[in-house]
Amino acid sequence: MTETVAFLGTGLMGAPMCRNLAISGVQIRAWNRSRSKADAIGHGVEVTDSAVEAAEDASVCIVMLSDGPACRQVLLDDGVAARLASGALLIVMSSISHPEALELAEQAKQMGLRWIDAPVSGGTPAAKAGSLSIMAGGATTDVQAARPLLSPMGRVVHIGPAGTGALTKLINQITVASTIATVAEAILLAEAGGADPARVRDALMGGFAASRILELHGQRMISRDFQPGGPARYQLKDTSAARDVAHGLGLELPMLNLADQLFSDLIAHGGGDLDHSALLIEMRRRNGLET
């Protein structure tokens, strides 16, 4: 593949995603606010000093920034979208809200660009392994055109029209958030009741309670390893966005509301930059236990 792809955002998730794409043979111009993170990717990736420079006349632009406002700032306010080639494919892989995806998709259409919202799930381990779950919303022809670029990063599922990828990511995030809360309660109950939480986890992994969250984040909770893979503040961003969507649809989702409140409290007590598995800390605080 000879076309040059602009890749904007090479942080915890974006860097390994960009690296896997480069290893597959794609020519990439990358930009990140902290240039050193982009410089460290290697594999022939050209690093630019600005997002506009990376996007200049690019026929494909992949965006992996922190949130919707950051995407809007870079794409529209900073003028990146206007510098892409006519008819360029704009693939936003950031976790943005459903309304933000719909609005940006419409803006892209008015500018003569093709749009895909393609958020991911799997965290940094899957990003490094190239095994992310990629939830794509957009026109069928555009998603098919993007598959060769997305496949080195993970498994692509075309959900439906623009916005449905972002909606699916919110659905993923409320499932993750509520499961983390349940696993944290399970670990806390095991510790308080005198059972070895590591052995409890091992037993549960053999039954219906088994899950990726129990496997990975359960171990993080037991080991008290809360170095961020997915920071808690990003989890709250997504649960809050999901609450807004549910409210707009007239839905009452009590588990989502509770998970959102728990993460809000964790962040209010200084845990925003910890991994979202650090919700165990908030559970311990609520029970008057050492945190």
Q: Domain holding 112: CATH number?
A: 3.40.50.720
Predicted local distance difference test score (pLDDT) of residue 229: 82
**63 within a domain of the structure (yes/no):** yes
Which of the following is catalytic: 109, 128, 169, 237?
Answer: 169
Q: What average pLDDT does range 99-108 have in this prediction?
A: 96
If residue 198 lies in a helix (H) or strand (E), which one and from where to where? helix 197-204
Chain mean position to CA 193 = 35
148 and 227 within one domain = no
**83 within a domain of the structure (yes/no):** yes
**47 within a domain of the structure (yes/no):** yes
Instruction: Kindly report the CATH number assigned to the domain that includes residue 207.
Output: 1.10.1040.10
* Percentage of the chain modeled with pLDDT above 90: 92
**24 within a domain of the structure (yes/no):** yes
Confidence of residue 123 (pLDDT cuts 50, 70, 90): confident
175 and 89 within one domain = no
pLDDT above 70 for 248:
yes
* Whole-number average pLDDT of the chain: 95
Q: Which of 131, 160, 189 is the last residue of a domain?
A: 160
**70 within a domain of the structure (yes/no):** yes
pLDDT above 50 for 152:
yes
pLDDT above 50 for 1:
no
120 and 22 within one domain = yes
8 A C-beta contact, residue 121 and residue 109: no
Would you state the structure tokens that stand for residue 4, as one six-digit string?
A: 């040059």
29 and 146 within one domain = yes
187 and 53 within one domain = no
Of the listed ranges 71-75, 138-142, 227-231, 260-264, the one predicted with least confidence: 227-231
Predicted local distance difference test score (pLDDT) of residue 3: 78
179 and 83 within one domain = no
176 and 143 within one domain = no
8 and 86 within one domain = yes
Predicted local distance difference test score (pLDDT) of residue 40: 95
pLDDT above 90 for 50:
yes
**64 within a domain of the structure (yes/no):** yes
- Split into its structural domains, the chain has a count of 2
Question: Which of 103, 98, 99, 49 is closest to 78 using CA atoms?
Answer: 49
Q: Which range of residues forms the domain containing residue 146?
A: 4-160
Annotated active-site residue 169? The verdict is: yes
147 and 11 within one domain = yes
The DSSP code sequence of 43-82 is: TT-EE-SSHHHHHTT-SEEEE--SSHHHHHIIIIIS-HHH
**291 within a domain of the structure (yes/no):** no
